[in-house]
Structure 1
Amino acid sequence: MRLRPNFRKTISIMKKKILTLLLAGSSCALFAQTGKKELSLEDIYVEGKFRTESVYGLNSMKDGKHFSSVERDPATGEMYLVQYEYQTGKATDTILRSASLKYEGIQLPASGTFSSEESKILLKTDVEPIYRRSTIENNFIYDRKDGSITPLSEKGRQKYANFSPDASRVAFVRDNNLFIKNLKTGEEKQITSDGKYNHIINGGTDWVYEEEFEFARAFFWSPDGKKIAYYKFNESEVKQYNFAVYDQLYPTDYRYKYPKPGEANSVVSIHIYDLESGKTVKADIGEETNQYIPRIKWTQNPSQLCIFRMNRHQNKLEYLLADAASGQTRLLLTRESDTYISINDDLHFLSDGEGFVFTSERNGYNHIYLYGMDGEIIRQVTDGSWEVTALYGIDEERKLIYFQSAENSPLQRDIYSISLKGTGKKKLSDREGSNDAVFSADFSYFINYHSAAGVPTIVTVNNRKGEVLRTLEDNSTLKETLSDYDLAEKEFLQIPSAEDGIMLNAWMIRPPDFDPSKKYPVFMYVYGGPGSQTVTDSWAGGDLWYQLMAQKGYIVVSVDNRGTGGRGAEFKKMTYLNLGKMETEDQIAAAEWLATQSYVDGSRIGIYGWSYGGYMASLCITRGAEVFKAAVAGAPVTSWRFYDSIYTERYLRTPQENEDGYDLNSPIHYADQLKGNYLLIHGTADDNVHFQNSVEMAEALVKAGKQFQSFFYPNEHHGVRYRYHLQTMITDFILENL
């Protein structure tokens, strides 16, 4: 019998009401059986009942015996910057208090950036985010000796303000030019004059360097404060990307330089300005301009600058030593790879001038190496089938290196020390799970941030031997709040990949009232990008939305496919030149394995991801159309041709070199295979993964005659701020379609 349209609408409404009643009944039954509450989206995203507390504004003082952190008076709301002793926990000084931090009616924050000798503090107001790591603001200088407050400049807002080593000057960028303010005389000197929006940038990075090489301030004081080395980006030949900002009667057309794969990048040069002579020299980085300078770093010698020079394929990295007076360079070291080399900040030059320490994957796992200033290896400091995941620093007095590693498990992180000779390795963290550290200036103490699945963040003060001196935060209030809710255990397991013999790390959250004799739908969460991990033994905000979905009757699962991190270079880099292929095969294989489990309803498996995860979800619902019933893709890359040059070419090379690698792993290529329910979400002002990706995906689906749902967030960037709205929409979609 054919139903009239109004009958169809009535039945649809009835189905939704029945579903709501069933869920309400399930919630009541759960409370009746356990006496515990069910989570709600309002509790998580509106009321903020489960906010994790930590220690904020932490700064280790130069004496190595004290640290400062930001405190709030719960009664008055006043903010303080308080100094404490590491050893005793005694408050020894109130450095700043918000009540006394006003300049001509402007309220200043009670936290900021100390000068290296701690006599002054930079305070920021009117802070406006630009991209992921860049802001523009008004800076004020607070002098701790006399309590005076002085604006850094009254000629316009600044970027990247940074003290000289002796705090006599502050360098900053305005209108793409570099300036130096003399704090003694008040003179503001302009160092460059050719800065121009979307053409020349001095002292700051362009969009793609900021995003992919992960830094925005692009000038650096020499150790003696007599010189500044800075980047100059000529982005004149980089093509513009534009999008509409719906902010007025006629929307604003926002334009910025965004190099896509195979297109022109900025031409980068390095310059060194001498404060005494007022002269600038250009460092010799060779004639090639189609290359990257992902880092520069002063050695301990103030006349010597180290410049990282990398080819566009990102598989050859050279360390150049530049003479600060002449700009002439010599080659210190060359590193090469069959795939790509990751850039980080692990390079440390030793104060005796005899060598340097850095991390490398040269033996298949990321480890610490010691080299001489002649570029020859002295020794490999750490070794084993595990990854060094952070290099905290070097205590040269005791000749110890402090680092974080995944030695115990790819899912966990621990803190270690080891001698420069590679002996006496000692584990300094004693709680299983994820540990991170912030060391004191002299490495006598460290603040340990620990969490685990089911264990909210615990912040402790430890001595250099790892002994806990006291606890700063244990989130006891949060634990008490969570005890009222019926939460399931987060289980860790391994699932077979699509490749025989390779097992994938995964976690699973089952419904709190799980009955192994019943069959449950599965809701998978994925990211899956190179070097990433979603499967870690950490708090991760308590996975509360996934716990909510489990309470609504879903088994929630996340799987780290091939190409993810923590398991060595071979596992991470096997997706090279074929992003998306193995990763999707593994997620499909994982779903197929789950479907064979007696407690899983194999006809009801869905998947969700954002960004790279949105890309994965889109591939899974198309290439895995026979396996996945529903997918939610947030801000997905739908063709790597649309993403930026540095990230994409690192893993795929250029489209001209690897056409199939780009097109055969694009969800757009498989749009005609869609069978299940697909929700596509994107912000219209996403400067990172452009809205273009979702528009092109939608067009391909329309042309293929495929029905799907989509939602756009006006003027939102890559991370949507309206979390309650977003999570409500996704939750409703899953409940109705899975």
Structure 2
Amino acid sequence: MFKIGALALAVFIQGASGSATARALADGSNGAHPPLALSDLERALTINDRYRGLTVNVPEGPFWLNGANAFVYRRTTHGEQQFMRVDAATGLKRAAFDQARLAAALNEASHKSYQAGDLPFERFELTEDGRRLDFLIEQVRWSCDVASYACTSAKLTAPDFQLSHHYTPPAENNPDQRSVSPDGKWIVYIKNYNVFLRSKDGLQDVALSRDGSEGNYYVFSTLSWSLDSRHLAAYRVRPGFKRELHYLDSSTDQLQREHSTLVYPKPGDVLPLPQPVLFEIASQRQVAIDDALFSNPFELSPLRWWADGRGFTFEYNQRGHQLYRLVEVDAATARARSIIDETSKTFVDYQPLVMDQESTGKIFRYDVDDGKEIIWASERDGHEHLYLFDGQTGALKNQITFGEWVVRAVNHVDPVKRQIWFEASGRNPGEDPYFVHAYRIGFDGEGLTELTPQPANHHVEFSPDGRYYVDLWSLIDLPPRMTLYRAIDNAKLMQVETADMSELIRAGWQPPLSFHAKGRDGKTDIWGVIHLPANFDPKKRYPVVENIYAGPQGSFAPKSFSRRTEPLTQLGFVVVQIDGMGTNNRSRAFHDVAWKNLKDAGFPDRILWHKAAAARYPWYDISNVGIFGWSAGGQSAVGALLFHPEFYKVAVANSGSYDNRIDKIWWNEQWMGWPVGIEYSRSSAIDNAYRLRGKLMIVVGEMDHNVDPSSSLQLADRLIKAGKDFDMVYVPGADHGAPGIYAERKLLDFFVRNILGQTPPD
């Protein structure tokens, strides 16, 4: 660790020793613990490794196998992981495969040393004949024979369309890439950046397009046939600005540094322009499509034909994220029309409601009866809900779900029974509004039925045919239960797993404490958790450190069981996690606080929450509050000292995006808006570095591929120019989060020094 600013360490120690908390801890008043020993630090750094082996039969999320009414899940017992398979019809539970043989086969093929109880994948696919297991390890697809356990591998390459933001494909597609028409008469391929058609007998070979070029090319992976083979559609892409980040890895296996480059679009950059194109096969001609409805795309979804060939659809996410549109192109006329428009004065939250079929865009969409009706997710009434539209006219038929609660996921749709199984939160009064429950409802909005009555956090997975579902549920103080149900009548068929944490409790593990208090509006409950210190004594007082992540893409305070504990609790700290306004999974008004205002980070709510906790719990000491976070949480941790130094005094910021103009394009334009405006500067820790008060440590990994590491270095530069003292940990060769025990130890040391006022054990 190196210092920024003269005598920074001395200043830090002197400043911390002068605080009320530091004095109390130093003289042992208020029941504070004595000076820390080396064993305390060692326990903090190893506690989670120790706890990992003290639970039994802890199941993870299940997944169903294709072609079989069976599901698989991974469970952990004493630190060893085992894949289990359950046959839904018979209830037979057994090992999914021979993990020892698979590990040996993988080691032989990969020249690695994988362990049978710690295989490097979480999910796998079973081929329909049941003979092979397919899974991914670090962008390599492995396929292993179940009988012989012989394994082969193939490196994955991203589809051209996914890379088109920064990638010009070769002039001709790989000869192995062929798109054959559904009737088998034609083969389509790319040559000289254009679309070519070849008859199956090879006698005809014609150019369908002639306008393709290196600067306006057709993308093979976007070619899409109508099922009647009469039409073909594709995207032609004009490339955008190719912004590159350049890295020098100083810590390689060789003496010399290694150079690498990453294409990394940033807010405001010129984007590629994908445009759909229609081809008639009989006339072998290209038909122009007017782009007035989709002229400024941030992103277009893959092209999807109706089964009857009448046209194709795609979803248009307009740059600025305030319009998301479902577009249909008529095959006979090439006319484009909007079926559904989703609009917002702030941003359209298009994060998908996860489902294992059909929805190819971002917003959840399910086509009923070849698009005669469309189920669509929307926040148009202020909460995330499902709606039923007429797919032919675009008219709203009815709202399916409604109320001051939010749909979180769609699990299964039965178009015959006209029923939807979904997950939602916030519907049960008096319950934590983030608890997810499963429900069933009719397309007409009638017959809402709750399937998971236990007041807990649930996740369900339906079998591909919709006949069965598995419910995995837990609480922060109750380990997971997994149960198999029959969908038609919700009958319980099997208690699959019940985890045991008795050894964990005997070892001293304590569950977090749930707490909520009113937010800035005086009405809305703000929820969070309190991780209690080791050997907690309510008669003593404990300093508080907040672990912050306030990204608008989700909510982050834990609701489910985890044996992990916060290392700082082993050194006598209370550690808290809070979901303030601006985070997701509540009302739209709750969420909109973040728009063009990421510096807010819910701090007005968080500070009130801390004060309410201190008023309720005498042991909760907020006289010298610390805060830490990584990535967007790193940005917020610095923001705490810039914008709220009257409350937060000490911060550790790891891999932070300290100016949203420096970070990746999608995340920042989604929440900070486009075009890039003055709001970016107002939320910038770099532009506001002169405001710094308190003790700050910046941690950055040299090879961070998620957040441009220059963000941390520019912040350091601006702090130096402002005459501010701070610490900085630069980790050679490290990626995002600078993982490893060194950075973790530096975080612990920093809070011990600046909040406890002690010199950390050597």
Q: TM range, normalised to the smaller chain?
A: 0.7 to 0.9
Q: Distance in 2 between matches of 1:177 and 1:57?
A: 38
Does residue 241 of the first structure (1) align with residue 254 of the second (2)? Answer: no
Q: Distance in 2 between matches of 1:574 and 1:240?
A: 32
Q: Tell me which residue corresponds to 1:32.
A: none
Q: Is the 8 A contact 2:419 2:443 kept in 1?
A: yes
Q: Is the 8 A contact 1:449 1:459 kept in 2?
A: yes
Aligned partner of 1:574 among 574, 593, 597: 593
Deviation at 1:678, TM superposition (A): 1.2
Matches within 5 A, 1:5-404: 22-24=35-37, 40-45=44-49, 48-49=52-53, 53-55=58-60, 58-62=63-67, 65-68=69-72, 84-90=86-92, 99=101, 106=109, 112-113=124-125, 123=134, 127-128=137-138, 135=139, 137=140, 158-159=157-158, 180=177, 191=190, 194=193, 234-246=238-250, 247=252, 248-270=254-276, 285-286=291-292, 290-296=296-302, 298=304, 301=307, 303=309, 304-323=311-330, 329-343=336-350, 344=352, 345=359, 346-351=364-369, 353-373=371-391, 374-404=393-423
Matched to 2:64, the amino acid is: N
Change (3 A) 1:70 1:636: closer
Deviation at 1:455, TM superposition (A): 2.2
Deviation at 1:307, TM superposition (A): 0.7
Q: Tell me which residue corresponds to 1:603.
A: 623
Does residue 432 of the first structure (1) align with residue 455 of the second (2)? Answer: yes
Aligned length: 671
Matches within 5 A, 1:389-538: 389-406=408-425, 407-408=427-428, 409-464=432-487, 465-476=489-500, 479-511=501-533, 513-538=535-560
Provide, for residues 18-72 of structure 1, a one-character-per-residue CA deviation record: whole Å limited to 9, x for no partner.
99973359979xxxxxxxxx96432414884367843578334346x33356799
Provide, for residues 496-551 of structure 1, a one-character-per-residue CA deviation record: whole Å limited to 9, x for no partner.
43444444222223335544443321111111121421234212x33412xx4334
Deviation at 1:567, TM superposition (A): 1.8
Change (3 A) 1:294 1:386: farther
Matched to 1:629, the amino acid is: K
| Identity in percent | 21
Q: Distance in 2 between matches of 1:26 and 1:96?
A: 40
Q: Tell me which residue corresponds to 1:214.
A: none
Q: Distance in 2 between matches of 1:97 and 1:517?
A: 50
Q: Distance in 2 between matches of 1:324 and 1:565?
A: 39
Q: Is the 8 A contact 1:281 1:325 kept in 2?
A: no
Provide, for residues 330-372 of structure 1, a one-character-per-residue CA deviation record: whole Å limited to 9, x for no partner.
3222221111112224211013542010210010000011111
Does residue 612 of the first structure (1) align with residue 635 of the second (2)? Answer: no
Change (3 A) 1:26 1:737: same
Deviation at 1:445, TM superposition (A): 0.8
Q: Tell me which residue corresponds to 2:356.
A: none
Aligned partner of 2:735 among 707, 717, 720: 717
Q: Distance in 2 between matches of 1:321 and 1:84?
A: 42
Provide, for residues 159-197 of structure 1, a one-character-per-residue CA deviation record: whole Å limited to 9, x for no partner.
4699xxxxxxxxxx99995753699x9x9996466499x
Provide, for residues 448-488 of structure 1, a one-character-per-residue CA deviation record: whole Å limited to 9, x for no partner.
22121122333322221444322333332xx1331222233
Q: Distance in 1 between matches of 2:177 and 2:150?
A: 18
Secondary structure of the 1:22 match is coil
Secondary structure of the 1:618 match is helix
Q: Tell me which residue corresponds to 1:628.
A: 648
Matched to 1:357, the amino acid is: I
Secondary structure of the 2:46 match is helix
Provide, for residues 369-401 of structure 1, a one-character-per-residue CA deviation record: whole Å limited to 9, x for no partner.
111112111110111100001111201232210
Deviation at 1:412, TM superposition (A): 0.5
Q: Distance in 1 between matches of 2:172 and 2:645?
A: 49
Q: Tell me which residue corresponds to 2:197.
A: none
Provide, for residues 264-295 of structure 1, a one-character-per-residue CA deviation record: whole Å limited to 9, x for no partner.
11222346799999999887644865322342
Q: Distance in 1 between matches of 2:151 and 2:231?
A: 24
Matched to 1:417, the amino acid is: R
Deviation at 1:414, TM superposition (A): 0.5
Change (3 A) 1:699 1:271: same
Matched to 2:529, the amino acid is: W
Q: Distance in 1 between matches of 2:601 and 2:710?
A: 25
- TM-score computed with the length of structure 2 as normaliser: 0.75
Q: Distance in 2 between matches of 1:20 and 1:520?
A: 9
Matched to 1:520, the amino acid is: Y
Structure 1 vs Structure 2 CA RMSD = 4.8
Does residue 542 of the first structure (1) align with residue 553 of the second (2)? Answer: no
Aligned partner of 1:564 among 577, 583, 603: 583
Deviation at 1:633, TM superposition (A): 0.9
Q: Is the 8 A contact 2:303 2:313 kept in 1?
A: yes
Matched to 2:245, the amino acid is: Y
Matches within 5 A, 1:636-647: 636-647=656-667
Q: Distance in 2 between matches of 1:326 and 1:191?
A: 25
Unaligned runs of 5+ in 2: 1-6, 15-21, 112-118, 162-168, 195-211, 353-358, 756-762
Q: Is the 8 A contact 1:531 1:572 kept in 2?
A: no
Provide, for residues 190-233 of structure 1, a one-character-per-residue CA deviation record: whole Å limited to 9, x for no partner.
6466499x9899869xxxxxxxxxxxx97878779999876665
Change (3 A) 1:353 1:623: closer
Deviation at 1:717, TM superposition (A): 2.5
Q: Is the 8 A contact 2:105 2:149 kept in 1?
A: no
Q: Distance in 2 between matches of 1:264 and 1:432?
A: 48
- TM-score computed with the length of structure 1 as normaliser: 0.77
Deviation at 1:575, TM superposition (A): 2.7
Change (3 A) 1:98 1:603: closer
Q: Which moved more, 1:464-473 or 1:519-528?
A: 464-473
Q: Is the 8 A contact 1:610 1:636 kept in 2?
A: yes
Change (3 A) 1:627 1:431: same
Provide, for residues 216-270 of structure 1, a one-character-per-residue CA deviation record: whole Å limited to 9, x for no partner.
x978787799998766654442322222233355533322332222221122234
Change (3 A) 1:623 1:220: farther
Deviation at 1:691, TM superposition (A): 0.5
Q: Distance in 2 between matches of 1:468 and 1:734?
A: 49
Provide, for residues 123-174 of structure 1, a one-character-per-residue CA deviation record: whole Å limited to 9, x for no partner.
367x54xxxxxx3x366697x9x99999898xx8644699xxxxxxxxxx99
Q: Is the 8 A contact 1:265 1:290 kept in 2?
A: no
Q: Which has the higher contact order (CA 8 A, sep 6+)?
A: 2
Change (3 A) 1:629 1:402: same
Matches within 5 A, 1:691-702: 691-702=709-720
Q: Is the 8 A contact 2:160 2:219 kept in 1?
A: no
Matched to 1:296, the amino acid is: P
Q: Distance in 1 between matches of 2:284 and 2:476?
A: 56
Provide, for residues 580-636 of structure 1, a one-character-per-residue CA deviation record: whole Å limited to 9, x for no partner.
136233334444555666433333210111111111110102222232221111111
Deviation at 1:444, TM superposition (A): 1.1
Aligned partner of 2:682 among 664, 668, 672: 664
Change (3 A) 1:593 1:103: closer
Q: Distance in 1 between matches of 2:717 and 2:506?
A: 47
Q: Which moved more, 1:508-517 or 1:679-688?
A: 508-517
